[in-house]
Structure 1
Amino acid sequence: MSLIIQDLHANVHGTEILKGINLEIPKGEIHAIMGPNGSGKSTLSKVLCGHEDYEVTGGSATMDGHDLLSMSVDERSRAGLFLAFQYPVEVPGVTNANFLRAAMQARMPEGEELDAVAFYKTLYAKMDKLGMARKFTSRAVNEGFSGGEKKRNDILQMMMLEPTYAILDETDSGLDIDALRIVSEGVNSMRSPMRSFLVITHYKRLLEYIKPDVVHVLSDGKIVRTGGYELVDELEEHGYEFLKNTEQ
């Protein structure tokens, strides 16, 4: 089973950003997307997750055979899709613990109740892996958090929700080397034959910790090149010079 994107086109505020994305991510694989600023990387993540500002004008996206684009945002989440934001939002008045309990309860069959003792045992174990103090459970979601704390909190949410397909939109942005290592260890602890990741990044340093199986280059709304990890090294050395000779 796979996340399959075919000839996907999308606009934001009337401007076409995605111009025919074709991508397949099988279960168990980590795919990375790199590319210049403005190429459509974050747009792709938001379209897949159903952001209301983005209009799909063509193509399709299926997740394990189900039409992803016909689902509401909450249906996509319950089906196993997760997005770690480039800029995590603050949710004043809602504590981390209550937010996660509500999210996990929403995924349970009707009539079943989340076991509170088991929930907190799991939550504390995941927080320990990410080096997060217990006080974060009673703080409002991301309110007053540093950039690194927000990114760890996103990964904590992912570790608790255990999605089937996880999209990491520039999770390395704003992280120092220690936070980057800890966040990457959290992601790597979730690698599984039944879980896939789409890692969006500008930099090689994240991919040194989270080794992708496949690397794609996105430019002007299209994937223009695909390769293995050696492509990361090539981009690190030469940048996107080759794009000048690529027909768009």
Structure 2
Amino acid sequence: MPTLPSIYVFNDADAMAPALAEYILQAQAAALQRHDAFKIGVSGGSLVANLRKALLPVEGVEWGKWQIFFADERLVPLDDPESNYGLLKKDLLEYLPEGTPQPTVFHVDTALLDDALEAADAYEKVLIKSFAAKDSVRLPSFDLLLLGCGPDGHTCSLFPGHELLRENVAWVAAIEDSPKPPPRRITLTLPVVTHSLRIAFVATGGSKAEVLKTIFEEPDAGLPCSLVNEGARGKVTWFVDAPAVQGVAIQKKEWKSPSL
């Protein structure tokens, strides 16, 4: 039996925010004991707003030591509403108080927006430089991946039934037929996601209840989020609000502040 993920349920996003902040600070502290950087991968969507709600009110975030990568990215200009980098900048980074040390953010090469394969290869080289500068490694080890869950169970730009779920060599893969627009994207591959030291899913809203019921009650369905739960055994934590798990049979845990 695979180790089940930890699932924490909160009344709403406001109630979730302090716990999510504590979890991230715990991951940051562990990372900075290993090396002088906090290597974190993020996806887009509502996750970024939840990060702002969680992190801006608290002390102890060492923004200057953060290295932010993207779990996936749409191949659009950085100021396009569909850009995950643009979303992060607009909904989080621009809110940092003046004088705050800025994190290092690795965005897609905008010269390669018309060539998904080249864009994926270039972003993989960015990961190799960061994670394998001194030694050869099979896979990068993110200190933390912060992911969302789509209504269809996709995460990153890994979609149910797509051939990219079988990719086991590349660190970053191109996708040009995304069922969710825009079609041209790059994404971390499933082995890279599950190799991360910690993985947190953030899912809110009643629109997620149906797919979360499948993920937690029928985990053999093969949805990408289910595959992450299975492949990253014991390293996955879910932060959800009550509407997202309405009618879902889960073994939820009570959040207790960790010792940082």
Is the structural similarity TM-score above 0.5? no
More strand by share: 1
Q: Which has the larger radius of gyration?
A: 1
TM-score normalized by structure 2?
0.39
